Structures are given as C-alpha cells and as structure tokens.
Structure 1
C-alpha cells in the first residue's frame, strides 16, 4: 500500500480552510482596489482605492446578521 506524506484528516481540512480564506481575502482586496480605482473621480483614484478596501474588510471580519423579528433571537 502507498504511504502518504500528508497530515491526518482533521488538520488537513483546517489547513485547507485557512488557505482558502487567505486566498479569498487577498483576491477580494485586489478586486475592490481595481474597482475603486476605475470608478473614482479624476485625481482621487488612490484615495478611493484605500477607502473601498478598508470598507470591505469589515464585511469579511463581521458578516451581516439577519434582522431580529418580533424579539426572537436566532
């Protein structure tokens, strides 16, 4: 039988999730930077770029929560 040089299953899953999260944060940051630079008014591209990146970071750290209905908590 073949020997595997990989880590056991639970740690491998955690490792893959961390890599996917990092790739999403970096990719999302690049996307928001390009979007902000292209849509900014003349001579304000860099300021808009930084503002859009910082605004999107809060969405990654604190995703939106569903509204409370009739005082019920989820």
Structure 2
C-alpha cells in the first residue's frame, strides 16, 4: 500500500508578510484593491480546478471529487 502524501508545509510567517507586502505594492499600496485582486485570482484558479476535476474519470478519482 503506498504511503500517504505528506501534508504541504505551511509557509513561514515572514514569507506571508513578504507576499502580502508585494501584493499591496502591486496594487499601488491599496490593501483593499490587493484583496480584491487576490479574490479574483482565487476565483479563477477555483474555476480551473473545477474544470479539471470534471475531466478526471470517476474510476481514477474513486469518489474523491464531487461531480467527478
């Protein structure tokens, strides 16, 4: 039986702070605009993931994905 995949490591707090600073800077220093941009990017990625999940066969997914 194959070993379970390891859980992804949580990013270090300093990395998150740096990423947040970069996102805010990319939006001209406006934190609200940075949040809106990140939400839009997240929606786009979730839509892509949903599309890929629909393409995975039910046999391969073995019930792991709803709608697969």
Pairwise TM-score range, normalised by the shorter structure: 0.3 to 0.5
In the superposition, the TM-score normalised over structure 1's length comes to: 0.39
Determine which structure has more spread, i.e. the larger CA radius of gyration: 1
Higher relative contact order (CA 8 A, sep 6+): 1
Question: Normalising by structure 2, what TM-score?
Answer: 0.42
